[in-house]
Amino acid sequence: MDFKSTTMISFALFTLGNITCVNANEAISKFLTTVEQPKPIERIAPKYPKNAARNKREGWVQLSFVIEKDGSVSNVLVNESSGSKDFEKEAKKAALKWQYKPAIENGQPIQQCANSVQLDFRMNKNGEEKVTRKFLRTYKEASKALAEKNFTLVKEKLGVLDNFKYRHLSENNYYHLLSADYQKELGNQNEEFLHLSRTRFHKANDKLNVYNRQFWLAINLNLFKQAQSALERMKKLKEAEPYLDNYVKVMAKVESTISGDKDIVVSADIRNQEFWHYNLLRKAFSIANISGELHKLDVRCANKRHVYTIEENNTWTLPASWGNCDLFIYGDDDTRFNLIEHPIQS
């Protein structure tokens, strides 16, 4: 299919990732089932917003979605984005029009609930570097305040930048990197990691700097899947080759922790977003130490999806047959809690 826009001046690139299914060995040994992954029939490229194309504004949107038994797409969520609402709108509209040959289990179509995709809106493959005067002026003021450790002024100026309805990709990167540096000064590792995860740099050295910070923060925060993702991205960079052995050794220790007999505790905070997203490592987990109000838990696994109410210290044990699972936890702004993954039972 042709992904070029009708104006021939812009195009949207996208790749599918993290479409998960039941582990084959586990499925055969326990359930004697055969699972076929969904196959795309039609994936319409998102329209490039006219205003964005006119201003050579680029961006990206990361979505989660469900593939239904009839192959249609539903329950599309924006996990993260470069901060432009028009890109988010067009990405969701396109995904809802996609059609798949559904996943098949023992000859019958099933839901495929743990799917994700990143849609990249770019004017050319090398990307555009563009910053408006208004953004640059405020950014310089925030940077100067951070150097002087005037944290009150930094917060104020970052708030101004965050309120930009549409940001160029370069502006989004500068905003989130500066926000990450600010949160590092405050000692807020969760917030630092969140901001770093919302950057998308083109240059290898910039990527390596961000991935390295993400890796060590993820290790400290027990976000082990995110640490593995950062490592996989670094493996693609020639500049990272001298350091890879050290990262691999750390991940070997992580694997031992995951299969160990101790709880894995992750601190969570719903702040300025609709939900908190987490990739489960184990099948048993609890939600505890809730400060604020949580509304619902949306569990999306390879071939199952369930929505639950949330009570303090409830424990969920998911069947192994559900495959890899993601959690989407909804609540009031600034609600904090702990996600506790319990040891794997033999």
- Which DSSP state fits 240? G
Helices (H) and strands (E) in the chain, counts: 10, 17
* CA dist., res. 122 & res. 12, Å (int): 6
CATH number at residue 145: 1.25.40
**Same domain membership, residue 219 and residue 145:** yes
pLDDT by 10s per residue, the chain, length 346: 333 332 223 334 433 333 333 333 343 333 344 557 788 899 999 999 999 998 888 899 999 999 999 999 999 999 888 888 899 999 999 999 999 998 888 788 888 888 899 999 988 766 667 889 999 999 999 999 999 999 999 999 999 999 887 888 889 999 999 999 999 999 999 999 999 999 988 889 999 999 999 999 999 999 999 999 999 999 999 999 999 999 999 999 999 999 999 999 999 999 877 899 999 999 999 999 999 999 999 999 887 889 999 988 889 999 988 888 999 999 998 899 999 999 977 5
* CA dist., res. 49 & res. 121, Å (int): 9
Q: How many domains does the chain have?
A: 3
CA distance readout (Å), 148 to 55, 81, 143, 144, 271:
34, 30, 9, 6, 27
Residue with token string 């917003």 = 49
Residues 6+ apart with CB under 8 A from 287: 294, 297, 310, 312, 313, 314, 329, 337, 338, 339, 340
Q: Domain containing 327: what range?
A: 264-341
Whether 127 is in a domain gets the answer no
Whether 2 is in a domain gets the answer no
**Phi then psi for 148, rounded to 5 degrees?**
-90, 0
Whether 6 is in a domain gets the answer no
**Same domain membership, residue 252 and residue 148:** yes
From 258, 288, 317, give the residue that closes a domain.
258
Tokens of 121: 């809106």
**Same domain membership, residue 278 and residue 235:** no
Q: Which helix (H) or strand (E) holds 308?
A: strand 305-308
**Same domain membership, residue 223 and residue 314:** no
CB 279 within 8 A of CB 287: no
Whether 186 is in a domain gets the answer yes
**Same domain membership, residue 171 and residue 137:** yes
CATH number at residue 297: 2.60.120
Question: Cα-atom radius of gyration of the chain, to the nearest Å?
Answer: 21
Whether 5 is in a domain gets the answer no
**Same domain membership, residue 253 and residue 183:** yes
**Same domain membership, residue 252 and residue 233:** yes
* CA dist., res. 73 & res. 65, Å (int): 7
**Same domain membership, residue 254 and residue 147:** yes
* CA dist., res. 69 & res. 167, Å (int): 37
Kindly report the pTM of this predicted structure: 0.79
**Same domain membership, residue 239 and residue 141:** yes
